[in-house]
Structure 1
Amino acid sequence: MKIPPSTDSTPRVRLSALLSAAEADALQNLLDKLTTDDFHRLAEGDEEITIYVEATNKIRRQLNAAEEIPVLPAYDD
């Protein structure tokens, strides 16, 4: 996803996703496997490495704070 340039000095994007428990676990495992070497290999410069690290840390915190949504019973009307 390319985010268009903003005139604001600090543009923000809000993410919201409803993941299955399996998807959340898989994403957490993927993020845990990312290393600094991966960021260096994927990034085009130091600024992009910093962005990768900060974004990864934010997503990790969100996953750690996530709450499982209980499955509600079906109502019989």
Structure 2
Amino acid sequence: ATDSSFVGPQALAQAYRYVADNRDKGKDDRLKIIDESHGIWRCHFAGSCSQVCPKGVDPAMGIQLLRGYLLGFRS
């Protein structure tokens, strides 16, 4: 991402973890937050975040899945 205010892959991967949980009562609010100007759409999806993640998490996959949720959420 080239936006210094971009929330980053860690925050987006964590957001996916909650959004994917059907017990999450804050899903709509969470999706609104990440669907803003410095949110998920600033990710260029190069996948490098997954390659260098020190915890072995795949944030790129979570970001792609969140984008799918958002496209359904907007409809």
Structure number with the higher helix fraction is 2
Structure 2 length normalisation: TM-score?
0.42
Q: Pick the structure with greater CA Rg.
A: 1
Structure 1 length normalisation: TM-score?
0.41
Larger RCO, structures 1/2 (Cα 8 Å, 6+ apart): 2
